[in-house]
Amino acid sequence: MKPDTHATWQALARAAEASERLHLREMFAADVQRFASLSVSWNDWLLDYSKQRVTTATMALLHGLWHTADVPGWIARMRAGEAINHSEGRAALHIALRRPAFAGPILHAGHDVMPAVLAELDKMQRFVAQIHGRHWRGATGEPISDIVNIGIGGSDLGPRMATQALAAFRHPELTVHYVANLDGADLATVLAGLQPRTTLFIIASKTFTTQETMQNAASARHWLVQALGEAAVARHFVAVSTNLAEVARFGIDPANAFAFWDWVGGRYSLWSAIGLPLALAVGFDNFRQLLAGAHAMDEHFFSAPPEENLPGLLALLEIWNTNFLGADNRALLPYSQSLGLLPRYLQQLEMESNGKQVDRQGLPLHCATAPILWGEAGTNGQHAFYQLIHQGGRLVPCEFIVCRQPDFALSGHHEKLLANCFAQSEALMRGRTLAETTAELVASGMTAAQVALLAPYRSFPGNQPSTTLLLPRLDPFTLGALVALYEHKVFVESVIWNINPFDQWGVEYGKQLASRLLPVIVGTAQGEQLDSSTAGLVAACRSG
């Protein structure tokens, strides 16, 4: 059923029309209990959405979407291992990757996947212990000091983001690097600071055929072989892949290949062996805490009603802003330098998952889906794009993430960070009227002429909606729960929009065209059927 045909959807459209006459500062003035009624706690987390342009009546309607779209039924299908990724005929069981042994089985095609998941985790743990204990030695007998993960997309962004986020927990004698871009500058700049004899490469590619990854892997292999010889490959490369034949052909011992499964989507794979570089960076005990945090969020998502369900609330608020208030974007603003890569990670998770305009029945949708996601760590963003949010005239829903306690406790820093975060959300909500600005300038001693000149520039409309997620601290457990929170948010949105969040055919089409163009660019094919623009660009490159 198309989402915009629901009676609840129509009621929300009418509520949105009525809300156009309201300003957030008026909503707060009219309801002194607004924060209490429009915030929710989970463990020691706090989600404050009182600065969103909603009322309790609006939220009741949004909660109705949860039931109308049968979100609980879809959760049950996911947990049962059904092929909810219907266009590829696959289940989506990333929840199994962080499920503890005592929690019981998860079935896929009638078989319990948990023994294989737990066995792979044990294998990862043994490997991490070998590296950290200096038992794994390179070809010259020296211990490993640097890890280079070569992957792209989900095989890169998740562990890269989490490694930066958990910088306070890093192993003191091991440095983890990430290479993803096909541009040679990415790999070359990483290799420039490394020694072949103490470097270990992780090649992360499920099929071991991903073009970008395998080109970078081949260049890294050449760099190593030039220095240490062909026989050194087996001691300096491991793989995360299911294609053991290609792994062996590359020169990696299949015993040093770590597996994951086709029911794990790339952008949901942090919890699998794709997380091996992260486990090496922070230690396996911390990696297990990451899994425990994600599992805790899973259990909350599965059991909490929509009124208290953190992923559900974030999803419903985004649907309100996108489909009823007309926002086409969302700013993610973590007030944490350690979470600086979170916007980039969530760009893939959210826009690759829900950037669709065809529903589960293959029919065109008549409503918007995933908004454009962008953002930057605070306070850096305040000196870049906040001006546009405050006075640019666009509707920009904002999502602030901040921790009560710092992960790096330098005196005088964190209190100022908190003050800036809370002040920005207040300013976006409240704004400043022309009359308020005029009174303030008069009080400062300006002349009437100066006031008349400057007051329009220093007035702000406000009424920009925002949510603040207040976390206790940034540790492995919290980060795991945070990432799982957004995974489930994406899933709830996909159910309500009636789309499949687990495929990415637009990405695949681009890869297909690149494969067709490569022979033309290197001169082994003519490219007679290219459009004039593409043909002209190729010709210009070849002539140079």
511 in active site: yes
CATH class of 3-68+304-430+464-497: alpha beta
**What is residue 144's DSSP assignment?**
P
Give the integer Cα–Cα distance in Å for 60 and 50: 14
- State how beta strands 175-179 and 111-112 pair: unpaired
Q: Are 341 and 298 in contact (CB under 8 A)?
A: no
- Find the catalytic residue in 352, 399, 487, 493: 352
User: Which of 74, 42, 102 is closest to 292 using CA atoms?
Assistant: 102
Three-class SS of residue 143? strand
383 in active site: yes
Strand order in the sheet with 466-471: 39-42, 45-48, 466-471, 398-403, 329-334, 372-375
Domain boundaries, the chain: 3-68+304-430+464-497, 101-288, 432-463, 505-543
pLDDT(512) > 90: no
Per-residue pLDDT at 274: 97
Q: Are 92 and 98 in contact (CB under 8 A)?
A: no
* For the chain, percent of residues with pLDDT exceeding 70: 100
Is the preceding peptide bond at 379 cis, omega within 30 degrees of 0?
yes
Three-class SS of residue 331? strand
pLDDT(357) > 90: yes
**Torsion angle of the four alpha carbons 262, 265, 270, 275, in this order, in degrees rounded to the nearest 10:** 40
User: Which of 104, 89, 478, 119 is closest to 273 using CA atoms?
Assistant: 119
pLDDT(544) > 70: no
Residue 156: how many CB atoms within 10 A of its CB? Answer: 24
User: pLDDT tens for residues 254-303?
Assistant: 999 999 899 999 999 999 999 999 999 999 999 999 999 999 999 999 99
Q: Are 76 and 491 in contact (CB under 8 A)?
A: no
505-543: CATH topology is: Phosphoglucose isomerase, C-terminal domain (1.10.1390)
51 in active site: no
Q: What is the pTM of this model?
A: 0.96
- Find the catalytic residue in 67, 111, 383, 416: 383
Confidence band (pLDDT; 50, 70, 90) for 543? confident
What does the buried/exposed string (b/e) look like for 428-466 if buried means 16 or more CB atoms within 10 Å of the residue's CB? Answer: bbbbbeeeebbeebeeeebeeeebeeebeeebbebbbbb
Per-residue pLDDT at 142: 98
Question: Tokens 């300038």 map to which residue?
Answer: 441
- Find the catalytic residue in 67, 366, 416, 511: 511
Quote the CATH superfamily of domain 101-288. Answer: Glucose-6-phosphate isomerase like protein; domain 1 (3.40.50.10490)
**What is residue 90's DSSP assignment?**
B
Q: What is the average pLDDT across 201-226?
A: 96
Question: Tokens 């000149």 map to which residue?
Answer: 453
User: pLDDT tens for residues 470-487?
Assistant: 999 999 999 999 999 999
Q: What is the average pLDDT across 447-455?
A: 97
In the chain, the largest separation of any two C-alpha atoms, in whole Å, equals 82
CA angle at residue 100 from 99 to 106, to 5 degrees? 50
User: pLDDT tens for residues 379-432?
Assistant: 999 999 999 999 999 999 999 999 999 999 999 999 999 999 999 999 999 999
Per-residue pLDDT at 119: 97
Encode 171-199 in three state secondary structure. Answer: CCCCEEEEECCCCHHHHHHHHCCCCHHHE
Intrachain domains 3-68+304-430+464-497 and 505-543 with the same fold: no
User: Which of 218, 329, 306, 212 is closest to 495 using CA atoms?
Assistant: 306
Give the integer Cα–Cα distance in Å for 274 and 154: 8
Give the integer Cα–Cα distance in Å for 269 and 289: 16
Element (DSSP H or E) covering residue 466: strand 466-471
Give the integer Cα–Cα distance in Å for 383 and 341: 18
Three-class SS of residue 524? coil
